[in-house]
């Protein structure tokens, strides 16, 4: 529990506290959501896996873009961050056609103003990764917006900067992951400005909660892909005939164990660090 930290916000599976005027504490819980519903059963270590992975990427992408990470706490699930003035757009990069990108493509042949080649199928790899900003919906789902709308929200020069940074971050991570058997189909970044109005990457980045991770050995365009981390939970929920409204179902022990193993596997493949070593010394991911 954070000492003398004031709770400032709750996400679906994370909490945000203020440490002082300049610093925030981001705490990742072990809660898991499927079909946008938080389940009553936790996945042990999930918050530590996501925190460690995000910190790993922050440490390795500082040369591409500055980020808000100041420290990883010994609990392995909390990070101290610089407080930023967050931009009002979600910075999504897509390397593959899935989710709302696939939906928009089937309806219009383009995604957020990017004209795409004809004949792509669901989960197709795109010729180049595309930047597809979205609004931050306070309730319900984020909505894709076109480039002009995004540029109006943040200004044209910041729009250019976040697009370039987002694409560069995605390219770096997607190549790193692909070499280790994981497809990062798409990902969402959130940026802010520091006191000098420099662009800084915030939030959590390049985790399975902020991205679509697919097992590369099962990748085949032409339909939906299994989720690297959440597929056991989704399959179990589907098998119940659950209507995907609150409350979600409890997960049986075998599904919890399988899901836990997949999170740990993603961590170990991407970081090349033994997860038990991370638990013993979380700062390992920063070296
Ligand atoms: C910030 N969120 C979303 C995340 C929540 C809510 N470095 C920063 N500076 C200022 N604000 C934020 C950040 C970051 N990151 C992020 N809201 C504000 C969020 C996690 C849990 F409840």
Q: Whose CA is nearest to atom 17 of ligand 1?
A: 9
Q: Whose CA is nearest to atom 14 of ligand 1?
A: 203
The 8-class DSSP code of residue 126 comes to E
pTM of the model: 0.97
42-61 residue pLDDT tens? 999 999 999 999 999 999 99
3-48 residue pLDDT tens? 689 999 999 999 999 999 999 999 999 999 999 999 999 999 999 9
Q: Is 86 in the pocket of ligand 1 (CB under 6 A)?
A: yes
Distance 81 CA to ligand 1 centre (A): 9
201-235 residue pLDDT tens? 999 999 999 999 999 999 999 999 999 999 999 99
2: pLDDT strictly greater than 70 = no
282: pLDDT strictly greater than 70 = yes
138: pLDDT strictly greater than 90 = no
Q: Is 203 in the pocket of ligand 1 (CB under 6 A)?
A: yes
User: Which atom of ligand 1 has the smallest separation from the CA of 10?
Assistant: 22
User: Which atom of ligand 1 has the smallest separation from the CA of 204?
Assistant: 15
Tokens of 102: 């696939």
Report residue 137's pLDDT band, with 50, 70 and 90 as the boundaries. confident
Asked if residues 81 and 202 have their Cβ atoms less than 8 Å apart, the reply is yes
Q: What percent of the chain has pLDDT over 90?
A: 97
Q: Is 112 in the pocket of ligand 1 (CB under 6 A)?
A: no
Please identify which residue in the block is written with the tokens 């280790």.
Answer: 180
Distance 15 CA to ligand 1 centre (A): 9
Distance 120 CA to ligand 1 centre (A): 36
For 215, residues 6+ apart whose C-beta sits below 8 A from its C-beta are 181, 182, 183, 226, 228
């Amino acid at each position: 529990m954070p000492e003398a930290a004031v709770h400032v916000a709750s996400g679906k599976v994370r909490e945000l506290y203020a440490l002082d005027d300049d610093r925030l504490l981001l705490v990742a819980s072990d809660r898991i959501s499927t079909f946008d519903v938080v389940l009553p059963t936790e996945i042990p270590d999930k918050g530590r896996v996501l925190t460690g992975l995000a910190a790993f990427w922050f440490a390795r992408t500082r040369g591409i873009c500055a980020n808000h990470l100041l420290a990883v706490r010994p609990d392995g699930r909390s990070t101290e961050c610089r407080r930023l003035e967050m931009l009002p757009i979600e910075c999504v990069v897509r390397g593959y056609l899935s989710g709302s990108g696939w939906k928009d493509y089937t309806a219009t042949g383009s995604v957020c103003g990017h004209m795409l080649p004809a004949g792509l199928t669901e989960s197709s790899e795109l010729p180049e990764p595309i930047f597809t900003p979205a609004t931050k919906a306070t309730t319900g789902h984020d909505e894709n917006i076109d480039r002009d709308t995004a540029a109006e929200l943040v200004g044209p020069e910041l729009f250019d900067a976040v697009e370039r940074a987002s694409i560069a971050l995605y390219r770096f991570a997607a190549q790193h992951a692909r070499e280790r058997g994981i497809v990062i189909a798409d990902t969402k970044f959130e940026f802010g400005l520091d006191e000098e109005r420099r662009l800084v990457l915030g939030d959590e980045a390049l985790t399975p909660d902020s991205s679509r991770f697919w097992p590369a050995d099962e990748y085949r365009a032409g339909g939906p892909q299994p989720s690297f981390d959440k597929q056991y939970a989704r399959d179990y929920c589907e098998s119940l005939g659950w209507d995907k409204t609150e409350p979600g179902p409890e997960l049986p022990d075998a599904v919890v164990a399988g899901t836990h193993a997949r999170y740990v596997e993603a961590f170990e493949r991407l970081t090349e660090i033994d997860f038990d070593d991370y638990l013993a010394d979380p700062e390992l991911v920063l070296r």
